[in-house]
Structure 1
Amino acid sequence: MSAAEILEGSAQNVLLLCDHASNAVPADIDLGIDPALLDLHIAIDIGAAAVTRALAQKLDAPAILATVSRLVIDLHREPDHIGLIPHRSDGHLIPGNESVDKPARIARFHAPYHRLLRDRIRAQRPRLILSIHSFTPCLEHGGTDRPWQVGVLYNRDTRAAHPTVQFFESRGYVTGDNEPYSGRLLNATLNRHAEGQGIPSVAIEIRNDLIRDAAGVEEWAGVLAELARHLTSDEV
């Protein structure tokens, strides 16, 4: 299994990332779970890969999509994060991860993925990095309703984030400013590859019931294409 799927594009001012694009589990890894769980948000950001692909096509921009489920290893976590290889996710036990060889799994999936991102970003030097995610309207266990249609996540660098919040709000979207969770706590990929390289970036979280079908994917890809053009224009 390759570290990621790369979509090429001629527009080099933007790079798209999708850390939770896949629910794939290699044949030699047994998570010990009901396979039906792989279709839930705990295994994959539902709709995020489809939006990323459609957006890449609209912008003619390159994109990097992860090829392994976050139940195997969460590529959007630091190597020392407690949730890197989850033992439990939204109330579901993942027994196959209880006795995992953590360094081996990092070396097999996490390290090559982030090397690939590092090398691509150094070579391309985009003006903007957009990371595409999705969130569930409500967690299965202990969650409350999440009213936002889209969330804008960021850490310290607000150059792209603040204009993005304004962009969505001006178009009438119910927008989460560092919601449904804070990019100051969970922003591993962009902290390392965008902020760490001085490149403006933002993580976009779309509520997954809005992008479960082709019409929703097309709508949101169009919205994000407009956003990307706005953020890379001289107006911002």
Structure 2
Amino acid sequence: MIAPVEVLNEEGQGKVVLLCEHASHRIPSEYGDLGLSEADRLSHAVWDPGARSLALQLSQALDAPVVASTVSRLVYDCNRPPEAASAMPEKSEQIMVPGNTGLTQAQRDARTAAVYDPFCAVVSEVLNKRRADTVIVTVHSFTPVYFGQPRAVELGLLHDEDSRLVDAMLNYVDRIPNRRTERNEPYGPTDGVTHSLRLHALSRNLPNVMLEVRNDLLRTDEEIAVAAEEVLTLLLPALNDIAIKEDKS
């Protein structure tokens, strides 16, 4: 049986811990195919294409552990709390999810226990073993067209109440001038997408960022390598800057 969560490079010694909540399109057999059409089974509604590969590239560069879900976000979205309807959505953008329609509370509780609780427990275990100056980076991708509307943003740097790391990263956007980078785009805290940051980072006062990379920039190994280098161009000096500030405070 495949575990609902995996840890890669668990012994990594860097200061960053990477989370990838939407890493997999796997739907465990007990959920059938959730009633999805074959065309929708690998769509962005089911997972974040390229996100796991990007997380692995960053892990190698940063010597960082990666905690990744191995279950589709449509079975349970590990970046949502159990009480949120979007944790097990009946519809994602324009894609209906018949297998999520009319779930009973018992069925919702069972999915929470099977997918979300193990993910959160592993994140906590990894963080509890880490250094005091740990930084959390969550890795996501997004579709270039949403509800028929093209999205111009290419790299989103998202934060909730703690903007320390994003503020520092944005100081270096001139180093990747050909990439359109924006704060809290294409989503932000009001869209309910910063749950993991709040639960795992804000609760521990750890600097954090949620990366959103447009998935048409993550189609090949070469593109993923470029995206990783661009993220690192912003992230590495920002980590140094906030470390200096923390030391002075």
Global fold match (TM > 0.5) = yes
RMSD: 1.6
User: Is the partner of 1:61 in helix, strand or coil?
Assistant: coil
After TM superposition, the score normalised by the length of structure 2 is: 0.88
Letter in 2 for 1:22: S
- Pair 1:175 & 2:175 matched: no
Q: CA deviation at 1:235?
A: 5.2
After TM superposition, the score normalised by the length of structure 1 is: 0.93
Alpha-carbon separation, structure 2, partners of 1:170 and 1:54 = 20
- Pair 1:148 & 2:153 matched: yes
Correspondences of 1:107-146 after superposition (within 5 Å): 107-125=113-131, 126-139=133-146, 142-146=147-151
Structure 1, residues 73-131: CA drift from partner, whole Å, max 9, x if none?
A: 11111111111101111111111111431011101111111111112112214521111
- Pair 1:16 & 2:18 matched: yes
Letter in 1 for 2:62: L
Q: CA deviation at 1:169?
A: 4.3
Alpha-carbon separation, structure 2, partners of 1:56 and 1:183 = 26
Structure 1, residues 25-48: CA drift from partner, whole Å, max 9, x if none?
A: 001112011133121110111111
User: Is the partner of 1:64 in helix, strand or coil?
Assistant: strand
For 1:194, which of 175, 198, 201 is the aligned residue? 201
Letter in 2 for 1:155: D
Greater Cα offset, 85-94 or 28-37: 28-37
For 1:231, which of 225, 234, 238 is the aligned residue? 238
Alpha-carbon separation, structure 2, partners of 1:121 and 1:134 = 24
Letter in 1 for 2:216: D
Correspondences of 1:21-36 after superposition (within 5 Å): 21-30=23-32, 31-36=34-39
Alpha-carbon separation, structure 2, partners of 1:44 and 1:70 = 6
| Contact preservation (8 Å) 1:149, 1:206 | yes
User: Is the partner of 1:104 in helix, strand or coil?
Assistant: helix
Q: CA deviation at 1:3?
A: 2.8
Instruction: Give 1:82's aligned residue.
Output: 85
Give the percent of matched residue pairs that are identical in Structure 1 and Structure 2: 31
Query: Which sections of structure 2, spanning at least 5 residues, go unmatched?
Result: none
Alpha-carbon separation, structure 2, partners of 1:10 and 1:82 = 35
Distance 1:73 1:235, change over 3 A: same
Alpha-carbon separation, structure 2, partners of 1:67 and 1:53 = 14
Greater Cα offset, 54-63 or 154-163: 54-63
| Contact preservation (8 Å) 1:13, 1:232 | no
Alpha-carbon separation, structure 2, partners of 1:12 and 1:152 = 21
Instruction: Give 1:6's aligned residue.
Output: 7
Instruction: Give 1:204's aligned residue.
Output: 211
Greater Cα offset, 226-235 or 112-121: 226-235
Letter in 1 for 2:55: T
Q: CA deviation at 1:181?
A: 1.1
Greater Cα offset, 88-97 or 1-10: 1-10
Alpha-carbon separation, structure 2, partners of 1:96 and 1:87 = 8
| Contact preservation (8 Å) 2:160, 2:198 | yes
Instruction: Give 2:47's aligned residue.
Output: 44
User: Is the partner of 1:148 in helix, strand or coil?
Assistant: coil
Letter in 2 for 1:127: T
| Contact preservation (8 Å) 1:160, 1:202 | yes
Q: CA deviation at 1:135?
A: 0.7
Query: Which sections of structure 1, spanning at least 5 residues, go unmatched?
Result: none
| Contact preservation (8 Å) 1:3, 1:67 | yes
